[in-house]
Amino acid sequence: MKKQAGSSVFIILLCVVYIFASVKAQTCRPSGTIRGKNPPPGQCNTENDSDCCKVGKLYTTYKCSPLVSSHTKATLTLNSFQAGGDGGGPSECDNQYHSDDDPVVALSTGWFNDKKRCLKYINIYGNGRSVRAKVVDECDSTMGCDSDHDYQPPCPNNIVDASKAVWKALGVPESDWGGMDIYWSDTD
């Protein structure tokens, strides 16, 4: 009987270790850093309160994002996908610019998932409302502080970077645009 109880405890302990290891393996950890440098004069677009890289500052990079669920927590940020906007060049999914009046988003690198979410729709939940938006770009979490990224720092790994249309659809007052906790999910 003592042998059987000892075996049961061992099996339970083994299961707990396996579960802990599985959860830990799914955690997204930083992949490195980038040292900031000053952008050439007039080369960092600060529209929508975008940040410019600062000389010598270390910026964390990620190749992953938190796990996606039916209710994935994220930070909603504001981005212009129009030509000349703070989003930089054309969108990665279709090489096009998009009107600020269209509900479009860029997702952090891990969620962008090597373009697997390109031109697909996600549901965004915030401020007691929801909106359906098209994924058109990546909010790069692996690179930044260069001309390709408009001399802006790398995105954190939990960003849904959204057009003005998304913020309006969520009913957020313009004075509060910039950063807000939201949830999102893939559409069916």
Give me the tens of pLDDT residue by residue for the chain, a chain 188 residues long.
555 555 554 444 333 334 333 333 358 999 999 999 888 887 776 766 678 889 999 999 999 999 999 999 999 999 999 987 766 679 999 999 999 999 999 999 999 999 999 999 999 999 999 999 999 999 999 999 888 787 889 999 999 999 999 999 999 999 999 889 999 999 96
Sequence-ordered list of residues with C-beta below 8 angstroms from that of 3, at least 6 positions apart, any chain: none
pLDDT of residue 41: 81
Any idea where the domains of the chain sit in the sequence? 27-37+50-186
Q: Which residues contact 161 (CB under 8 A, 6 or more apart)?
A: 77, 78, 79, 87, 105, 106, 107, 137, 139, 155
- For the segment(s) 27-37+50-186, the CATH number from 2.60.40.1930, 2.120.10.30, 2.40.40.10, 3.30.559.10 is 2.40.40.10
Place of tokens 């080369």: 43
pLDDT at 26: 54
- pLDDT, residue 126, reads 97
Q: For position 37, what pLDDT does the model report? A: 85
Name the nearest CA neighbour of 150 among 47, 20, 25. Answer: 47
| pLDDT for res 24 | 37
How far does Cα 32 stand from its chain's mean position? Answer: 17
The pLDDT of residue 48: 64
pLDDT at 10: 46
